[in-house]
C-alpha cells in the first residue's frame, strides 16, 4: 500500500517573548509595527521585536554600520508567502517585501532544520552583516557575514549570499505550489533582487529568524538602554 505524503503543517512555531525588554521599547516596537501598515501585517510582532532588539544591541558595537535600516526574514512562514521585509526604521516604512527561498536541507514549505555546517544545504538562523557585492554564478549577488558563533558564522565560507533565483519567483509557485530550494542562501525573486541587494548596502543588518533562534544579540536590557539614548539612530 502506498502511503500518501503528509503535507507540511502550516501552524507556525510560537516565538518566545524576549526577557528584559523595557516597556518603553516594547511600546515603541508596537507603534512601529502599526505605522508600517498593511505591508507588514504578516510580519509577526515577536519577530519584529527580535529584529529591533538585535539591531539596537549590534549597532553600538560597530558590527553593523548602517543606522536606521534592517532586513528580517521569518523563515517559519511558508515559502509561498512574502516573508522578507526591508524596513526603514526612522520613517516607519517598508522599503521592500518579497519571497525568499530557504535551503533544501531545511524543509519543504517551512524551514524546520537549520545548520552552520558546510555540506548541510541548510539555512542558518541568526544575525548577519551585509558585505560586498560581486558577479558570480547567480549574477549580481551580495555576501553576508554571520554574527552568531555556532549558528551562522560559517555563512561567508559556505558562500551563503543574497542572489536571484528563478525558483524564488511567483511563477515558480504557480507551477509547483511552493518555491524551490537553495544550498542555504536566502535567494530572491529575479524581479526584485537588484533593488533589495542595493538597499541593504554594506554594513546593514539582516536577521534570518526561525524556530530555535538563539543569539547573544537578543539582549533586551542593552537594546532598551540604546533606544533610550539614541532612538532608532
- pLDDT tens column, 116-169: 998 899 999 999 999 999 999 999 999 999 999 999 999 999 999 999 999 999
Contacts of 165 (CB under 8 A, 6+ apart): 101, 138, 180, 182, 185, 187, 188, 190
For residue 53, what are the domain limits? Answer: 23-230
**Tally of CB atoms within 10 A around 170:** 14
Q: What is the pLDDT of residue 220?
A: 98
Residue 10 lies in a domain: no
Residue 197 lies in a domain: yes
Is 70 a residue whose pLDDT tops 70?
yes
What CATH number has the domain bearing residue 135?
Answer: 2.40.440.10
Residue 1 lies in a domain: no
Q: What is the pLDDT of residue 14?
A: 95
Environment class of 182 (CB within 10 Å of its CB; exposed 0-12, middle 13-18, buried 19+): buried
Residue 151 lies in a domain: yes
| Helix%, strand%, coil% for the chain, nearest 5 | 30, 20, 50
Half-sphere exposure of 65 (CA within 13 A, CB side): 5
Residue 99 lies in a domain: yes
| C-alpha span between 10 and 6 (Å, rounded) | 12
Query: Average pLDDT for residues 188-201, to the nearest whole number?
Result: 98
Confidence of residue 6 (pLDDT cuts 50, 70, 90): very low
Residue 13 lies in a domain: no
What total number of domains does the chain contain? Answer: 1
Place of cell 509561498: 80
Whole-model pTM?
A: 0.95
- CA torsion, points 193, 160, 177, 15, in degrees to nearest 10? -100
Residue 11 lies in a domain: no
Q: What is the pLDDT of residue 7?
A: 54
Please report the DSSP string for 116-127 in residue order.
-SGGG-----EE
Residue 17 lies in a domain: no
| C-alpha span between 142 and 134 (Å, rounded) | 6
Amino acid at each position: 500500500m502506498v502511503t500518501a505524503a503528509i503535507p507540511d503543517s502550516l501552524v507556525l512555531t510560537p516565538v518566545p517573548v524576549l526577557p528584559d525588554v523595557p516597556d518603553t521599547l516594547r511600546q515603541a516596537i508596537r507603534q512601529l509595527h502599526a505605522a508600517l501598515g498593511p505591508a507588514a501585517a504578516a510580519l509577526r510582532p515577536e519577530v519584529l521585536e527580535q529584529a529591533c532588539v538585535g539591531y539596537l544591541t549590534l549597532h553600538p558595537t560597530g558590527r553593523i554600520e548602517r543606522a536606521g535600516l534592517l532586513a528580517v526574514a521569518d523563515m517559519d512562514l511558508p515559502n509561498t508567502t512574502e516573508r522578507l521585509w526591508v524596513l526603514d526604521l526612522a520613517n516607519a516604512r517598508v522599503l521592500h517585501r518579497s519571497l525568499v527561498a530557504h535551503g533544501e536541507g531545511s524543509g519543504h514549505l517551512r524551514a524546520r532544520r537549520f545548520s552552520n555546517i558546510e555540506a548541510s544545504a541548510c539555512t542558518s538562523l541568526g544575525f548577519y552583516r551585509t558585505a560586498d557585492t560581486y558577479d558570480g554564478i547567480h549574477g549580481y549577488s551580495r555576501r553576508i557575514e554571520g554574527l552568531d558563533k555556532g549558528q551562522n558564522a560559517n555563512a561567508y565560507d559556505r558562500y551563503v549570499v543574497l542572489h536571484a533565483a528563478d525558483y524564488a519567483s511567483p511563477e515558480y509557485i504557480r507551477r509547483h505550489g511552493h518555491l524551490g530550494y537553495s544550498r542555504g542562501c536566502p535567494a530572491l525573486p529575479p524581479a526584485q533582487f537588484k533593488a533589495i541587494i542595493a538597499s541593504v548596502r554594506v554594513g546593514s543588518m539582516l536577521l534570518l529568524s526561525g524556530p530555535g533562534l538563539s543569539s547573544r544579540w537578543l539582549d533586551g536590557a542593552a537594546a532598551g538602554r540604546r533606544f533610550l539614548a539614541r532612538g532608532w539612530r
